[in-house]
Amino acid sequence: MKKILVVLLSLTLIFAFTGCTSSNNEATEDIKTQEVVTSNTDDDDDNISNTENAAENVNEKDYDFSSYEEEICNITKSVNNAKTSTNASENHEQFYTLKRQVDAVDDELDKLDDEFEYAYQMKEISFETYKARERAIEKLEDELELAEEALENKYGIDD
């Protein structure tokens, strides 16, 4: 399900950027790498989550995801700034170094999601809080997936 969402999000971004380009012959050039841009301009999602967060914050303190957002932003910058070389072993080393960072954050997010699910099952948090946190984690995982896809595209390695 997550991969489908990522593919749809990627296609949306591609169509958005394609629609913004001029209609001259430069549009036919091949694009070898894709830079990942993370932003919080999704108006509908923000309005929904702001409404949910306001309702949740009345009763319970919400979780702070800013450290994960910062980690994902740093990984995205590292992927965008990574330079490929003609040396294949050097490329593999750079790829797997960045891939380990992506996997580490993904594992942390999975563990956090499991902790929230357990807290909900133990009735420590409400269903609304659990779902809001789960949606926040899914959004972070989507951003991380985009960075991973950009990394794979840049180095031509499908892992």
- Whether 10 is covered by a domain: the verdict is no
Confidence (pTM): 0.61
- The DSSP-derived string for the chain is -HHHHHHHHHHHHHHHHHHHS-SSGGGGS-------------HHHHHHHHHHHHHHHHHSPPP--HHHHHHHHHHHHHHHH----S-HHHHHHHHHHHHHHHHHHHHHHHHHHHHHHHHHHTTSS-HHHHHHHHHHHHHHHHHHHHHHHHHHHHHT---
Q: Assess whether pLDDT exceeds 90 at residue 6.
A: no
Mean predicted confidence (pLDDT) in 46-60 = 45
The pLDDT value recorded for residue 62 is 79
- Whether 47 is covered by a domain: the verdict is no
- Whether 66 is covered by a domain: the verdict is no
- Whether 93 is covered by a domain: the verdict is yes
The pLDDT value recorded for residue 56 is 41
- Whether 52 is covered by a domain: the verdict is no
Question: Average model confidence (pLDDT) for the chain?
Answer: 76
Domain extent, residue 150, equals 88-155
**More confident call, 19 vs 127:** 127
Q: What is the pLDDT of residues 81-96, one digit of tens each?
A: 998 888 888 989 999 9
Q: How many domains does the chain have?
A: 1
Q: What is the pLDDT of residues 109-124, one digit of tens each?
A: 999 999 999 999 999 9
